[in-house]
Amino acid sequence: MGLKNERKHNAEAAGIAESAESAENASRKHGEAVGVILQQSEWIICEKLWEKAPRTIMQLYHALKEVPGWSKSTVNTLLSRMVEKGLIYYEEGEKARQYYPRIKREDAALAETESLLKKLYKGSVGMMMSTLLQKNALSEEEIQELYEILERGR
């Protein structure tokens, strides 16, 4: 990757244009960030930490250097910002900081789902399901799974 492309990629990865929505949604409750809308770069790092925690900066760097191709300084910058936002935390290890996710994957996924519903379907699950059915985007198995989920919710 050329220097120009690497700089562009690193700038994008660092989330220079972070949204106000993400900052507003970083409320903390009992030490956890809840209802957080993650930036794409934050999702990537959280996915690695959800897979296996704790991880050191070098472990994360090695996991991320090929895809998405981030440099060590980019990973370090992202980790610092995520600590400041309360998305992750670290403990001092013998040789290096050990990073952990502060948010649960389920909480982040729920916040993303609610944001999508509000943005695209005015908060209406029915409108979303109607759209999916009109486009034949659901298989018979998926429709049956939805029926079962709705029955459990009663």
* Cα gap 83→81, rounded to integer Å: 5
CATH code for the structural domain at 3-105: 1.10.10.10
Q: End-to-end distance of the chain based on CA atoms, in angstroms?
A: 54
Residue 145 half-sphere exposure toward CB, CA atoms < 13 A: 5
The tens-digit pLDDT sequence of the chain (154 residues) is 444 444 444 444 444 334 333 333 333 333 455 578 999 999 999 999 999 999 999 999 999 988 888 999 999 999 999 999 999 999 999 999 999 999 999 999 999 999 999 999 999 999 998 998 888 888 999 999 999 999 998 8
Query: Alpha carbon 150 to chain centroid distance?
Result: 27
Cα angle value 57/61/67 (rounded, 5°): 150
pTM of full prediction above 0.75: no
Cβ atoms 9, 69 nearer than 8 A:
yes
Structure tokens at 149: 């989920």
Return the sign of the alpha-carbon dihedral for residues 119, 120, 122, 128.
negative
pLDDT given for residue 34 in this prediction: 57
User: Domain residue spans in the chain?
Assistant: 3-105, 124-154
* Cα gap 86→82, rounded to integer Å: 6
pLDDT given for residue 30 in this prediction: 34
